[in-house]
Amino acid sequence: MTFGEKIFFFIFGFRFLVATTVPLEFSLVPKINCFDLNRNGNPDFIALSNSASPRTVYHIEVSSSKTEILWEFTMPETKKGYFVDMILGDFDKDGVIELIATAYQDDSNDIFYIFSLDEFGYNGTPPTITGIKNISSINNPRRLYKMQPGANGQSLFLLTQGSPNRQVVMCEYSGDEIISVGSMGKEFLKNTMSPIDIALGDFDGDGGEDIFILDNGFTPSGYIIYSDGKEMSNTLSGYPRLKYLHENGVDLNFDGTDDIVMVNRSGELMSDIWGNEPLSFSKDKINSIIIKPDNGFVYLTSITKSGEIENYSLDPLTRSILSSEIISPKFNHNGYKTVHSLITQKDILLFHDGNNPELWLTSLAIELITDTPPPLPIQRIYNRNPDYVINVGDNFSHLIQWETSATFRNFTEEFLPENMEFDLDELTLNWIPRQVQLGYHELSYKLELREKGNRKLASDNGKIYVSQNEPLSEKPYSFLLYVNDPISFQKQQDSITIVNGELFEWIIPIDDDNADAQLSVEIISGEKSANYDLLQPEITLVSVDNEIEAEPAVVESEEIVEIEPEVKTDTAVPQQETIIENIKIESEEPIYVDSVRTEYEKFAEEKLESEEDPFKKTKQESSVEEFKTMEEEYREKLKTHKKILKDGKNIWIPIDSLLVSEDSTTVEEPKIENPEVSEVATIPASDSLSFSDKTGDEELIVENIEEISSTDNQFVEITYAELVKHKTQFSWLPHTAPGDYNFTIAVTDGFTSDTSLFTITVHPEIDLSLNKTHFTATVDQMFNTSLILKPSSQSEKYNFNLIDAPENMRIDTAGTINWVPLPTQVDDYNFQLEVTDGIATSRLQYEIYVNAPPVISSRPGEIFILPLGEQLNFPMENFDMNTNTELKWKLLSGPTDMALNSQGVLSWGGFELGHHPYEIQLTDGIDSVQWKASIYVNAPPVITSKPVVAVPEGERYEYPLFAMDENTISPKDSLAENTIIFSLAQGPEGMKIEDNILVWETNDNHPGEYMVAITANDGVQDAIQVFPVFINSFPVITSPDSVTVQLGDTLRMQIEAYDPNPGDSLTFHLDSLRNGLVLELHNGLLTWLPENSDIGLHKFTLQVKDGHDNTGTAIPFQIYVYRPPLLTSELSTEAFVGLEYAAFITAEDLYGKKLSSPESIQIDSASFNYYNLSEYAHLFKWTPRDVDKGDHEFIIRITDEHGFITLHHHKLSVFTNPCVQCNNDEMPADSTGN
């Protein structure tokens, strides 16, 4: 890493040294780090909505003050499911990054959503939704695990499926399909049943990627599938249930083999190399960990459920904690339950799920910072023109040539571009440059040739011989190649329709990935009023000034930004300018500045002062001293040495070796400091120099020394991450006749060009200028207005859209607005009407004042009744829903002397009988409301008939009704005569008025007095008459109509009766009397002592008289004489231990009938257990035990069919068995007595 690169590294790290809290619009669950996909220096990631069933995927970028949603995708409503997990990478090796998301889908196997991404994020292409080829049973996906590419570059990934059909499937993505490569650990999964977790790593030290499957149950177990195909169980004996399995193996003991890292549910760190002995380091529930071994130590960061970040340095051998640091997130809002985390290359991002969700960003511990992704391809930019320009993908062939007088001997490569090949047959260098080889490339080599010299005649010992001198020569050849990306328009439309009078701006991207491309654009043919311009791109720069800024500066490239390019030599060169994409780059004489002091040391010292962990502080001090030493050595080296480019490498040479003597044509050979370079480095001179060195008969001649050095080593290297996407803009504001206009535009980069032909159809604008836009509408009344279009803007069909209009406003297909304003929709309404024909769009702003007509909220009735001689003074009230309105009253017509003042008080004296019509009006200046009514002066009616007040019971009651009234005109109709209507206001049921006669059928009514009220109504007032009507009645017997008496008891019953007519005397009678039966005549006392002959039911007729006639009131009456059921069995009173006590229980009813039904004889209770009574024979059995010795009692419930019950208590004594040889084989004694 160069000094400049180190300074940049520390400055970039300082940007996120201070933790930042950023508010979120809604709660998120981060899923994947995108590694700064759009390369602007800000972290970005893929996230899901924080829901139990997330249906939306987001690509989000984080800055110091906000988050920005770069794109989002929501699962279509037709898809019933939610996203589960996702991975990111170039899985099909096409140079395009894919986001593969898996989702749970109801009743569907299409569980994969595949998105294509570029450096700007999601490219807008709808995702591919597919299932897994070669397998159909995956419908409950859980996790995705990205595997390392294989030797053939194949990128695979693992998919786990949850219960009930658990699987681990290895998949590949190819040809827009997910293909199953095979299932892993089938037998292991078949014999286990808990949730699955996966860890990937080199668990056997062979360099391949192995798979560890964890069955995470109460007694976890594992299974390893090695890269060579071997499989092995890992029982994890004695391990508790685990909370977390690190997805990648970690070499904790530095033995070259990855180890499995786990966290149990108690928050303790575990590993298979430690057995089941854990390392306790956290008291909170852990969501994730970051772990990295380095130089014998293990650096670990855990993130808890509450968001605390715990940094530890561990000794993996002793399992001891060397240092620790706990950082709590500084959220601005509390009240959250869970914190989700995401780890980027250098930062930790925490997200909480509270009502005010936030993101807290802090730097990752220095020890845990991982290596950045491999560098992108680099383009070189030189300050001179190339010797050859080659379009990428073209076949470039360079012929090896030399003077015809010489013959070829050796070819020696100095520097050839990658993948350039030598054709032995044709003696050519062949090359097809790839897309990643854009820019300048050096091509240099040496040819060793044999030259034909002069012949020489000589003699030796009188003999003539002729020799020809053929010296060897070595000639260097150097060329500068430029690989050009042929410029082209991106795919675009051939025809476009725009609207006349509206500015049309069309962004047209240009494909040219050369970093130094100089583009120019022009309109070749078309309307002169159109413009075609090259847009200036935005370039992001990171300041390396003494003041470290928190955010990178963004400048437009039209400004001149002076930056120091990274050059491959420190040789002093004249100042020169290179213009690249309108950025001015000035190369100056390098001047050493001790920026370590001004930049790095200040940063490092502040970091050391704030560091409290002694272990980390010692490592940081060592790192600082090492950097200072390297920088000091670099400064001292610059005093005596310079760098030059030799064989494609930067090497140090002494400054003195570059001196050339003025009177010498030879070059002093420099002493090269780089021991790896053994050849002579030659330095350019103004003239061609040569020297020879004879070896034997051959002479080596080196010519054109200036060509031996490499091509101009003043260049700038640009990574592909710094490439600017070129965009052009075609703009036109047409004011012309509608029609088709053809355009041809061109773009060139100086080497290649491209043209594009397209047709622009100018569509007529929609002219709405003829329309009235200010209206007044009235509440509850239809408002409508029709849109007027100028004839010049007529199209076949228009679509109309109301914007910010009242919710009940509608517009039909003809452009007519219809609206009935509601009472709540008053005063001013502003809205827009958008008119479009599918191409052109115009808007019209409407202003409507909605008036609510005034309301007379309090007024006399439509026919107001005024008693004769009284004065009317009625204060009327009003209401208007509009604000700032003035209401006025007016009496339009009425009787003489009627008046209505400005406050709405209506006054008049009623001294004349009959109707008196009038009309009033209330207005708000826009709408008015009228009220037409009448005042009726009334005199009340008088009832003149006398009521009938008595009627015999059962006879019809009649009373003729008569009344009189002074009013002759009906109060309801001024053209009708007045009539009196009689009504029954109160009376007994069945009483009614027929032809002004009050009638009543009294048959169904009780005797006594009934109050009656009748009214005589003249349509306005009632006259009321109230009187009683008396009905004479018969006695009423209230006693029961039957009674029972047990044989041997005396019956005493009071016969109860009453007469509704007060003052009547009652007498009591029976039609026949049994022997001994007595009924008192006046008080109704019934007495009887029945005999055995009286057993059974006896029926009588009971009669009560009130003295008014001989009939009275009679009812059927019956007396039931009964005897309770009787036990007829003779039961023994003794029982013996061990001997069965058995007896048939029999009984009879009051008539002597034997009881045989199962429910007639039952044991109600007993003082002993384990007895039995048969259901039909009523056989009672019991074998007493030794514990039953003593006195007992059991109760027999006897019930006859008449419902009479007897409870028979039987006492029983249990004794010791006197006969030990006796058995229970004998039949029970007959206890029935039959």
Q: Among positive and negative, which fits the CA dihedral 206, 207, 208, 212?
A: positive
Residue 472 in any domain: the answer is yes
Q: Which domain holds residue 988?
A: 942-1032
Residue 235 has pLDDT above 80, yes or no: no
**490-530: pLDDT as tens digits:** 867 889 999 998 999 999 999 888 888 889 999 999 999 99
- Confidence at residue 885, expressed as pLDDT on a 0 to 100 scale: 84
- Confidence at residue 559, expressed as pLDDT on a 0 to 100 scale: 35
Residue whose C-alpha is closest to residue 916's, from 892, 896, 934, 938: 934
| Mean pLDDT confidence for 218-225 | 92
Measured distance CA(258)–CA(65) in Å, rounded: 40
> Chain-wide mean pLDDT for the chain?
80
Residue that is written with structure tokens 């293909």 in the block: 179
| Mean pLDDT confidence for 241-246 | 89
Looking up residue 475, the CATH number of its domain turns out to be 2.60.40
Residues 438 and 501 in one domain: no
Residues 1132 and 1201 in one domain: yes
Measured distance CA(979)–CA(1174) in Å, rounded: 88
Indicate the pLDDT class of residue 665, thresholds 50, 70 and 90. Answer: very low
Residues 874 and 825 in one domain: no
| Mean pLDDT confidence for 732-751 | 93
Q: What are phi and psi of 310, to 5 degrees?
A: -115, 115
164 preceded by a cis bond (ω within 30 of 0):
yes
**603-629: pLDDT as tens digits:** 556 656 666 666 556 656 766 676 666
Residue 219 has pLDDT above 80, yes or no: yes
Residue 672 has pLDDT above 60, yes or no: no
How many domains does the chain fold into?
7
DSSP collapsed to 3 states, 1161-1217: EEEEEECCCCEEECCCCCEEEECCCHHHCEEEEEEEEEECCCCCEEEEEEEEEEECC
Give the domain-ending residue among 708, 737, 763.
Answer: 763
Residue 586 has pLDDT above 50, yes or no: no
Looking up residue 1085, the CATH number of its domain turns out to be 2.60.40.10
Residues 975 and 912 in one domain: no
Residue 305 in any domain: the answer is no
Name the least confident of 1-15, 102-116, 791-805, 913-927: 1-15
| Mean pLDDT confidence for 683-709 | 38
Residue 758 has pLDDT above 90, yes or no: yes
DSSP states of 670-735: PPPS-TT--SPPP---SS---EEEEETTEEEEE--GGGTSPSP--EEEEEGGGPPPEEEEEEE---
| Mean pLDDT confidence for 596-606 | 51
Residues 790 and 883 in one domain: no
Residues 1077 and 1145 in one domain: no
Measured distance CA(1003)–CA(990) in Å, rounded: 10
Pairing between β-strand 1085-1088 and β-strand 1051-1054 as defined by DSSP bridges: antiparallel
- Confidence at residue 1111, expressed as pLDDT on a 0 to 100 scale: 67
Residue 793 has pLDDT above 60, yes or no: yes
Q: Is 226 helix (H, G, I), strand (E, B) or coil?
A: coil
Residue 663 has pLDDT above 70, yes or no: no
Name the least confident of 11-15, 925-929, 1018-1022: 11-15
Residues 904 and 866 in one domain: yes
Residue 972 in any domain: the answer is yes
Residue whose C-alpha is closest to residue 302's, from 277, 278, 330, 283: 283
Measured distance CA(1117)–CA(1090) in Å, rounded: 17
- Confidence at residue 644, expressed as pLDDT on a 0 to 100 scale: 56
Measured distance CA(134)–CA(181) in Å, rounded: 8
Q: Other C-beta atoms within 10 Å of 700: how many?
A: 14
Residues 398 and 469 in one domain: yes
Judging by beta carbons within 10 Å of its beta carbon (0-12, 13-18, 19+), is residue 441 exposed, middle or buried? buried
**Degrees, nearest 5: CA angle 1146-1148-1151:** 165
Residue that is written with structure tokens 């100018």 in the block: 762
In percent, the amount of the chain with pLDDT more than 70 equals: 80
Say which residue, 1225 or 1066, is predicted with more confidence.
Answer: 1066
Give the domain-ending residue among 1032, 1059, 1075.
Answer: 1032
- Confidence at residue 3, expressed as pLDDT on a 0 to 100 scale: 34
Residues 988 and 1009 in one domain: yes
Name the least confident of 261-265, 787-791, 1121-1125: 787-791
Kindly state the tokens that stand for 915: 């109707």
Going through 220-308 in order, the beta strands assigned E by DSSP cover 221-225, 231-234, 242-245, 261-264, 268-271, 279-280, 286-294, 297-304
Residues 1154 and 1211 in one domain: yes
The conformation of residue 482, written as its DSSP 8-state character, comes to E
| Mean pLDDT confidence for 86-113 | 86
Q: Other C-beta atoms within 10 Å of 739: how many?
A: 11
Q: In the chain, what is the straight-line distance between the N-terminal and C-terminal CA atoms, in Å?
A: 126
Residue 912 has pLDDT above 60, yes or no: yes
Q: Other C-beta atoms within 10 Å of 205: how many?
A: 12
Residue 1021 in any domain: the answer is yes
Residues 948 and 914 in one domain: no
- Confidence at residue 25, expressed as pLDDT on a 0 to 100 scale: 86
**1211-1221: pLDDT as tens digits:** 999 999 887 66
Give the domain-ending residue among 728, 763, 798.
Answer: 763
Indicate the pLDDT class of residue 268, thresholds 50, 70 and 90. Answer: confident
Residue 1152 in any domain: the answer is yes
Say which residue, 679 or 372, is predicted with more confidence.
Answer: 372
Residue whose C-alpha is closest to residue 1197's, from 1186, 1208, 1188: 1208
Measured distance CA(944)–CA(961) in Å, rounded: 8
Residue 207 has pLDDT above 90, yes or no: no
**1033-1087: pLDDT as tens digits:** 778 888 999 999 988 899 999 999 988 777 778 899 988 888 889 989 889 999 9
Looking up residue 511, the CATH number of its domain turns out to be 2.60.40.4140
CB 349 within 8 A of CB 322: no
Residue 471 in any domain: the answer is yes
| Mean pLDDT confidence for 1180-1207 | 91
Say which residue, 704 or 811, is predicted with more confidence.
Answer: 811
Residue 806 in any domain: the answer is yes
Residue 300 in any domain: the answer is no
- Confidence at residue 429, expressed as pLDDT on a 0 to 100 scale: 94
Say which residue, 90 or 394, is predicted with more confidence.
Answer: 394
The conformation of residue 165, written as its DSSP 8-state character, comes to S
Judging by beta carbons within 10 Å of its beta carbon (0-12, 13-18, 19+), is residue 503 exposed, middle or buried? exposed
Q: Which residues contact 263 (CB under 8 A, 6 or more apart)?
A: 242, 243, 244, 269, 270, 286, 289, 302
Indicate the pLDDT class of residue 1142, thresholds 50, 70 and 90. Answer: very high
Residues 1073 and 1138 in one domain: no
- Confidence at residue 635, expressed as pLDDT on a 0 to 100 scale: 66
- Confidence at residue 264, expressed as pLDDT on a 0 to 100 scale: 87
